[in-house]
Amino acid sequence: MAHDYDYIIIGSGFGGSVSALRLSEKGYRVLILEKGKELKANDFPKTNWNVKRWMWLPLLRFFGFFKLTFFRHITILSGVGVGGGSLVYANTLPVPKDDFFTSGSWAHLSDWKTELEPFYPLAKKMLGAVRNPRKETGDLALETLAKEIGKPDEFELADVAVFFGEPNTTIPDPFFDGKGPDRSGCTFCGGCMTGCRFDGKNTLDKNYLYLAQKEGAQIQAESEVYDVRPIGAKDGSDGYEVYWRRSTSLFKKRGRISTKGIVFSGGVLGTVPLLLKLKKGSLPNLSDKVGGGVRTNSESLIGITTLDKNITFSDGVAIGSILHTDVHSHLEPVRYASGSGFWRLMLAPMVSGRNIVVRFGKLLGDLLRHPLQNMRLAFVWDFARRTQILLFMQTINSTLRFKRSWFGMHSTMEAGPAPTAFIPEAQTLAKKYADLVKAKPVTLITETIAGIPTTAHILGGCVMGEHAQDGVIDQNNRVYGYQNMLVCDGSAISANPGVNPSLTITALTEHAMAQIQSKRGKYMGDIHHEPN
């Protein structure tokens, strides 16, 4: 049967971009459908006060690249656009510790540390990971904190996806023997998470996606997929029809494309709601585990704001260092560029308490006891320059389940303790750090009042399992119940890495793509994989 494409990839983040390159190299005709826009360096805003160019809020006709999503148990920060999360993430590319490879629903499927060992170095090479060469104010303070808590050897500079060439000087591609795009060196402006305007950040459009296009892959931006239907055989062995609509138009242009195979790579907030919808419609044989096993890195995000005009936190890369506070926990200083102080609108003094009444009382008490200090902090000049954000992460394996209703997707508890915005160790470390830089800890008002934690690392929802009864996909990312269908994104992560998952998503997708034979051989679907 003739199809428009051999593979359609839904989403262009870390999983989608790897899939696009490797499938194109194997001779397949590939199309990437991306809901967000395709952005160049000069399309990014100078600061995040330019909300229309920064945030993705289609109802308000804001078509930026940063998305903020609220659930009952979690607030999620994510990226939208060609390049997915690479447009907004903080560049860090750590390998998880050993516990990650031996926990979660995937643990018994393989010796994952050995299985993925060749793919982590490959992912690092493709993403251009190098050690951050500079310690800035926030990094030096973290190093001092490491000594104060008796862990000086646990501080280290981070491996980051940044080109540290000559700033403002364009040179031929330094990563892929001239096959990649021209590049310019990092300016250490701290603007990594609001879109790199200087071509220093190694976003996916500068490596995997760029090379995939040279191999013939096509990218269709501003196209949201709303249905996937098998053609002929119900297991999809005859292919699929993919239905999409224009995501940025008032008058929703629509289209239909046929494909032999399909890769879901829209991230947890793209893949999971789509599959939950399809399970009730055109793909009923999907596992009942769709939406289950959703987890975070058990994060705590705490701002440290100073009134000292001699202190500057905004210089450097988004995350330049890391402190391993114990075998399960990490602390990283995160920065925004000078002028990007939008978050000041959502911050309040850091408090904790068992319920909203206690927390509101503590918040009110802090405001009454320190009125002048809080007023000065609220109106501090150049908030981003004076604020260091601390990202604390742990490997705690509690999980949520995402479900779909008339009102959209919502979260429920599945296993373990509920995510919390009040991790005692995180708050203790934040106070110690604040003392070092003469500052005060602040948190998002959603945490202070509602007690809802914030994450930039939402994972799971399409986890691995030995059968469809305990997972959505197998150990090679193939979807149970359907042929020629994979999930390659953060929703496939089946345990808590405790660190930024971007490198792991990349390595795991490289592993999945390595199992697919070239077009000169057989289709993946010809490998025996019976539907359940």
pLDDT at residue 525 in the model: 40
Q: Among 453, 469, 485, where does a domain finish?
A: 453
Q: Is position 142 within any domain?
A: no
Structure tokens at 480: 């149970």
Least confident of 149-153, 163-167, 283-287, 451-455: 451-455
| Cα-to-chain-centroid distance, residue 202 | 15
Q: How confident is the model at residue 81 (pLDDT cuts 50, 70, 90)?
A: very high
Task: Indicate whether 25 and 104 sit together in one domain.
Answer: yes
Q: Is residue 516 part of a domain?
A: yes
Rg, C-alpha atoms of the chain: 23
CA–CA–CA angle 90, 390, 99 (5° rounding): 75
Same domain, yes or no: 344 and 481: no
DSSP 454: E
- Which amino acid is residue 38, in one-letter code? E
| DSSP helix/strand/coil, 15 | helix
Would the pLDDT of 298 be above 90?
A: no
421 band by pLDDT with thresholds 50, 70 and 90: confident
E-only strand ranges, 208-269:
218-220, 223-230, 240-246, 254-264
Q: For residue 90, give the DSSP letter.
A: -
Same structural domain, 240 and 264: yes
Q: pLDDT for 246-290, tens place per residue? A: 999 988 799 999 999 999 999 999 999 999 999 999 999 999 999
Do 107 and 239 fall into the same domain?
A: yes
The percentage of residues in the chain with a pLDDT greater than 90, rounded to a whole number, is: 87
Domain-terminating residue out of 420, 453, 486: 453
Closest CA to 199 of 158, 167, 159, 160: 167
* 457 among known catalytic residues: yes
Residue 118, token pair as written in the block: 């060749």
C-alpha span between 306 and 497 (Å, rounded): 32
Q: At what angle do helices 502-514 and 14-25 cross, to 10 degrees?
A: 30
Q: How far is CA 358 from CA 270, 352, 355, 361, in A?
A: 36, 8, 6, 5
Q: Does an H or E element contain 76, and which?
A: strand 75-79
Q: For the residues 97-114, what does the mean pLDDT come to?
A: 94
DSSP 97: P
What's the CATH number where 289 sits? 3.50.50.60
Say whether pLDDT at 417 is over 90: no
The secondary structure element, H or E, covering residue 56 is: strand 56-57
Which residues partner with 62 through β-bridges? 57
Answer yes or no: is 152 within a domain: no
Q: CA-to-CA distance for 303 and 131, rounded, in angstroms?
A: 25
Residue in 457, 467, 511, 528 annotated catalytic? 457
Judge if 285 and 323 occupy the same domain.
no
pLDDT of residue 252: 78
Instruction: Give the pLDDT band (50/70/90) at residue 378.
Output: confident
In contact, 409 and 322? CB cutoff 8 Å: no
| Residue among 362, 367, 356 nearest 450 (CA) | 356
Within a domain: 139: no
The predicted pLDDT at position 181 comes to 96
Q: Say if residue 88 is exposed, middle or buried (CB neighbours under 10 Å; 0-12, 13-18, 19+).
A: buried
What pLDDT digit, counting tens, does each position of 335-362 carry?
999 999 999 999 999 999 888 999 999 9
pLDDT band (50, 70, 90) for residue 455: very high
Q: Considering the domain boundaries, does residue 106 fall inside one?
A: yes
Classify residue 309: in a domain, yes or no. Answer: yes
Residue 524 in this model has a pLDDT that exceeds 50: no
Beta strands in 231-341 (DSSP E): 240-246, 254-264, 300-306, 321-326, 329-334
More reliable by pLDDT, 109 or 531: 109
Neighbours of 249 (CB within 10 A): 10
For residues 193 and 168, state if they share a domain. Answer: yes
Q: Does one domain contain both 20 and 105? A: yes
pLDDT for residue 158: 97
- The answer to whether the beta carbons of residues 220 and 209 sit under 8 Å apart is no
At residue 521 the predicted structure's pLDDT band, cuts being 50, 70 and 90, is low
Structure tokens at 409: 């997707």
pLDDT value for 396: 74
- Predicted local confidence at residue 529, as pLDDT: 33
Residue 99 Cα distances to 76, 96, 297, 392, 491, angstroms: 24, 8, 13, 18, 19
CB of 244 within 8 A of CB of 54? no
Single-letter amino acid code for the residue at 148: E
225-234 average pLDDT score: 97
Residue 506 is predicted with a pLDDT of 98
DSSP E strand boundaries for 340-422: 347-349, 387-394, 399-405, 408-415
Has residue 430 got a pLDDT over 90?
yes
Residue 352 lies in a domain: yes
| Domain co-membership, 336 together with 280 | no
Q: Which two tokens stand for residue 126?
A: 């493709």
Rounded Cα gap, residues 17 and 91, in angstroms = 16
Residue 232 CA to residue 239 CA, distance in Å, equals 8
Handedness of CA 21, 24, 28, 33 (dihedral sign): positive
Q: How far apart are CA 181 and CA 95, in angstroms?
A: 27
Let me know: does 32 contact 213? Beta carbons within 8 Å: no
pLDDT tier at 45 (50, 70, 90 boundaries)?
very high
Number of independent structural domains in the chain: 2
Pick the closest to residue 164 from 187, 190, 146 (CA basis): 187
Same structural domain, 44 and 178 = yes
Which residue, 498, 141, 145, is CA-closest to 316?
141
Do 82 and 198 fall within a single domain?
yes
Per-residue pLDDT averaged across 377-402, rounded? 91
Assess whether 326 and 466 both reside in one domain: no
| Element at 443 (helix H, strand E) | strand 439-444
Q: Are residues 91 and 227 in the same domain?
A: yes
Instruction: Calculate helix-pair angle for 502-514, 119-127, nearest 10 degrees.
Output: 120
For 350, the domain range is 300-400+412-453
Task: Decide if 519 contacts 27 (C-beta within 8 A).
Answer: yes
* Residue 532 in domain: no
